[in-house]
Amino acid sequence: MPSLTTSDLANSRIGGNLEFGWWSGSKSNSAVSNTYSGYGFVTDPYIDMAFTTRKVNKIRVVTSEYSGQIANYELFIYDGSNNLVSNQTGLIPEDSYYKDHLITTALSTQNIARIRCYIRSTKNPQDYARIQEIVPLYEEDMTNYVISVSVNRTRDVHQTSLPIGGNETSSADINFDNTTKKFNVFDTNSEFGKYMKKDLKVEVYSGWRIKKPNDDAINSAELSTFLTANANSSATTLYVNDINIFPSENQAQLDEIYILVQKEYAERLIANLGTKQYSALTHFVSYWAETEYLFTVEPKCFQPAPKVTSAFIKIKLRDKPLVETENPKQLRRFIKAIFANRRKVLTNALKAAGYTETEIKSLNLDPKLRGETLSLAEINALTQKLELGNSAKLELASNPKMGLPTNEQAQD
């Protein structure tokens, strides 16, 4: 347990086991602070935590969920020589009881030994400040070292009509590549070995993942959302472990997608007009995004090596669709009709897709025209023309007298 000092020496619990956390010895004011959110103090209480020098790149401050919940605070973070490494202010979010701080300037020293936290305000008036934990953490993304992962989700097997939950927990087996001896437990110079002896918290992700820095002061360029995943040419669905981390239906929340696919599949996504790779998929993707072929990934890059070559591509979502249409479903149907029978002339392809003779004639198509030679803009123009024809029919059907000659015109 780290050694603790505090400005509230009158607090008798500071010398105990801190089972219920640290409480300030003084209460916050009854009036709202002019400087901070919530209610400030006459003299700001603090807690000073010293511990064995260690690598730290994240600090989590945990307060109470209600009584004693702090609002504003300030952290002073020191290395083993008592040099100030980082000074950060924090505000516990309204819907939370903790906040994480990234120590970006400490990444080069990795040598933290002391943290002092000043409490500036509480969320409730006339309340003692309460801190459950100040946790120095060292967090690393180990993806590049993982050889294999297996997750076992265990539950009790029982027969009962009562909603009794199991008492087993899930487990995971992770094999790391130790070729460079980074994980040697008994080697004091090993980069990660010494941490393998401790209690570790491991989060295993598969499929799509979004990870954003929690620190408000971090460079805004690092706050971009990135999704990465592997997919093959037959994949139609990409699974997300937690729907809460996936962007909402608002397109603006997602800018770019980088994805590894089979080379032939990538060629269909970026195909040019008139090529054999040009397909319905090309149109569906280009409607919402711009695609770019970044590089080829040979089979030898994988173990075991697959029988196909892969490609890494970039999909950049547009702010608005490439073409404007009032009926996207009609546009999609028209595109599918074209490429379902791409070897046929367009009139025959549309007929095979269920379009009526009247609809096809209204388009005034060249009898020799093939749909696969049309750009998305040209296809959209045809569907809009089709829509206008259908709208006229609906108007005529709703008003049977429309278009009929008057009695005077009939007599003439």
Per-residue pLDDT of the chain (412 residues; tens, 9 = 90+): 445 555 544 443 333 445 567 888 899 999 999 999 999 999 999 998 888 888 888 899 999 888 899 999 999 999 888 989 889 999 998 888 999 988 875 454 568 899 999 999 999 999 999 998 898 888 887 877 888 877 776 554 444 444 444 455 667 788 888 888 888 888 878 888 877 766 677 777 655 444 444 544 445 444 444 555 555 544 444 444 444 444 454 444 567 788 888 888 888 888 888 788 888 888 888 888 888 999 998 988 877 788 889 898 888 888 888 888 888 888 888 888 888 887 788 888 888 888 888 888 888 888 888 888 888 888 888 888 877 765 555 444 444 443 434 444 434 3
Residue 397: helix, strand or coil by DSSP?
Answer: helix
Q: Are 146 and 202 in contact (CB under 8 A)?
A: no
Question: How far apart, in whole angstroms, are the C-alpha atoms of residue 330 and residue 387?
Answer: 8
Question: Where in 255-359 does DSSP place strands (E)?
Answer: 256-262, 289-297, 310-317
- pTM attached to this predicted model: 0.46
Domain annotation for the chain: domains and CATH numbers? 3-137 (2.60.120.260), 143-157+166-197 (no CATH), 220-317 (3.40.50.150), 341-398 (1.10.8.100)
**Chain centroid to CA 92: how far?**
22
Question: How far apart, in whole angstroms, are the C-alpha atoms of residue 123 and residue 44?
Answer: 14
Question: How far apart, in whole angstroms, are the C-alpha atoms of residue 58 and residue 135?
Answer: 8
Position 7 scores a pLDDT of 54
Question: How far apart, in whole angstroms, are the C-alpha atoms of residue 126 and residue 67?
Answer: 11
